[in-house]
Structure 1
Amino acid sequence: MFLSEEADQFELPVHETGFTREELEELLSLLESNEPVGPNSGSEGSTGAVSSLEPNEPVSPNYGSEGSTRAVYSADERKKRRMESNRESARRSRWRKRMHLENVTDEINRLSIENRQLKNRVSSVMNQYHIVWRENEQLRSESVALWAKLSDLYWTLATMQPR
């Protein structure tokens, strides 16, 4: 049948539709079958939902809103489906939380490494600064000493010159 070929060709994203794989397969099988779907059809023991259709009137797969493929379920089935959906939602939520925690942990590790590297660079720059500062101080004191010698030489030279 055409629908089963489509189902084989495309992997349906269960997490986006809110249906489990089994529910999607059941819906596809209902669409492929030519059996009428109504309040009295379905599994034994299910109460069925109240419908405004006549008892012998078949229900099309598009009954309700156009393009809808939702089947009619009893209250117990709806509760079971809701519980299953909630479990799946909780599982996805735990998975997202775990992924978020892993991402945050990775970010912390990356930033810790970057912080350590920056501290090392600051330490290196500070060491260079102290070396250059000491050298500069030494050169200033040498400059003062040389200016003093030069001044003495000028005075000596000035005193030796006849007037």
Structure 2
Amino acid sequence: MASPNGSGCSELIQSSGSEQELQHLMDRKRKRMISNRDSARRSRMRKQKHQDELASQLSQLRKQNNEMMSSVSITTQHYMVVEAQNHVLRVQVAELSRHLDSLNNIIGFMYPPVEEQIYCPELVDEFMNNSLSYVYANQQIMASANTFM
């Protein structure tokens, strides 16, 4: 026959075994929960660091963009100034070319080739009186596109 003490003893051993298992499961659950919290905290920290890096990069790219826009604006202004100067120079070249042609026509009229010489003292005297120098009247004026560049 089984004594009440013997059966009670085995129940205590069984209950203490399940308490130990229960305690072990609780410890594992608590460790896992702590580990998950730490992992979530590290994940939030990585995410925050990544967001900070992206914000820094955005700020740097905006600064570079502003610098480039400023540079483009300055370059455009310089281009417009040079284009305006170029236009003025082209107009001056055209005007000086017409003036040169006129002067060459006058010289050609005053000193035509020997076979076509017609002497008109009134025109020669008027030109000489209005010219800067007699020396220049005897020289043909030549110009090329390179002269004005």
Q: Which runs of 5+ in 2 are unaligned?
A: 1-17, 118-149
With over 3 angstroms needed to count, the CA separation of the structure-2 counterparts of 1:156 and 1:46, relative to structure 1, is: farther
Choose from 104, 111, 117 the match for 1:154. Answer: 104
* Residue 108 (structure 1) aligns with: 58
TM-aligned CA deviation for residue 75 of structure 1:
1.6
- TM-score, normalised on structure 1? 0.55
Q: Which residue of 1 aligns with 2:29?
A: 79
Corresponding residue for residue 47 of structure 1: 20
Superposed structure 1 runs of 4+ greater than 2 Å apart: none
1:77-156 pair list within 5 angstroms: 77-156=27-106
Structure with greater Cα Rg: 2
CA 1:48–1:138 in 2, change beyond 3 Å: closer, same or farther?
same
Question: Greater helix percent: which structure?
Answer: 2
**Unmatched runs of 5 consecutive residues or more in structure 1:** 1-44, 50-72
TM-score, normalisation: structure 2? 0.60
In 1, Cα distance between equivalents of 2:56 and 2:21: 51
By relative contact order (CA 8 Å, sep 6+), the higher-ranking structure is: 2
- Counting aligned pairs with the same residue, the percent is 31
Q: Tell me the matched-pair count.
A: 96
Amino acid at match of 1:140: R
